[in-house]
Amino acid sequence: MPWIGVFQQADSWNNVVDTRATEMTNIAKVKWSGYILAVQPRIRLMRSFDQRQHSYHGYVLRIEGTYGDDSGEFLIAVGKSANEKHQFRVGMKLSGLAMPVPDQRLEIAGFYKTSSITVSKVAEPRISSSPPFNGVPPNLGTYRNRGHRRLDPRTYESKCNTCIWGCRMPVEITEDHWNPSRKRYRFETFCYGPKNCSFYKAGATRKVPGRSGMTWEEEDWVDDDATAHRGLDE
Ligand code: SF4
């Protein structure tokens, strides 16, 4: 089985479709185990021209370990209550059950519906003082309150994919609100971290397609506005 969802290309377009993939109801959960390499929030973004809305689903664990008979690096989606209970952080060894995500446009993780999590090695809950920042990620309300700035996808892949403030989001775009069943899908990367982080690079502005060939460009002021309540080192 391939490692689904681990190395998807950032900000790539997926096909335009009208319906989401059918739920894979008959697939049994498979046992996985390994060490946590990173914990990041599991947040989706819905765009409609200049409007955007987030939904907060939990966390994504980057695991080095085994899933079924395969071994390697993979991403496991977990709920917010699991994080409250286990306080996930880099270095923990754990196991659980999960199943493949049926629609890879909607999750960055390859596996979800995670259950029966057992922690066999606990790591120190230290937060690093320099980037990338590790430690136990905050609750999802903290991410919402902090707001984000766009993050260059190449910087995310090379420097930020183990930072608790980095987030790669599945994005669902409604081009025409008179025809809302027609969607586009892509992935975008963001930073919720301190504004003076030395790793930060904004990258190109994001463009959102709309009706009749129109395009909304999300300029710098959107990020400035979303994080204006935070100081440079917050
Ligand atoms: S730029 Fe953001 S996500 Fe990347 S290391 Fe710095 S705080 Fe973390």
Q: What is the mean pLDDT of the chain?
A: 89
Q: Are 90 and 162 in contact (CB under 8 A)?
A: yes
- Of 186, 183, 164, 163, which is closest to residue 175 (Cα–Cα)? 183
High-pLDDT (> 70) share of the chain, %: 88
Q: Give the pLDDT band of residue 35 (cuts 50, 70, 90).
A: very high
Which H or E run includes 57? strand 51-67
- How do residues 131-171 score in pLDDT, each as one tens digit? 999 999 999 999 999 999 999 999 999 999 999 999 999 99
Nearest ligand 1 atom, CA 200: 1
* CATH 2.40.50 corresponds to the domain 30-121: yes
Q: Are 97 and 48 in contact (CB under 8 A)?
A: no
Tell me the best of 62, 133, 158, 161 to mutate to test the pocket of ligand 1, counting ligand atoms within 8 Å of each CB and taking the most.
Answer: 133
Instruction: Taking residues 178-203, report their average pLDDT.
Output: 96
Look at residue 129 in the predicted model and tell me its pLDDT.
Answer: 83
Instruction: Taking residues 102-127, report their average pLDDT.
Output: 91
Instruction: Taking residues 57-70, report their average pLDDT.
Output: 97
**Per-residue pLDDT for 214 more than 50?**
yes
Tell me the best of 130, 146, 152, 165 to mutate to test the pocket of ligand 1, counting ligand atoms within 8 Å of each CB and taking the most.
Answer: 165
Distance 97 CA to ligand 1 centre (A): 30
Domain residue spans in the chain?
30-121, 140-226
Look at residue 26 in the predicted model and tell me its pLDDT.
Answer: 56
Instruction: Taking residues 178-200, report their average pLDDT.
Output: 96
Give the span between the Cα atoms of 127 and 147, in whole angstroms. 20
Look at residue 5 in the predicted model and tell me its pLDDT.
Answer: 44
Give the span between the Cα atoms of 147 and 203, in whole angstroms. 17
Look at residue 122 in the predicted model and tell me its pLDDT.
Answer: 86
Give the span between the Cα atoms of 114 and 8, in whole angstroms. 21
Burial 117-154 (b: 16+ CB within 10 A, else e): bebeeebeeeeeeebbbbbbbeebeebeebbbbbbbbe
Instruction: Taking residues 219-227, report their average pLDDT.
Output: 97
Distance 141 CA to ligand 1 centre (A): 19
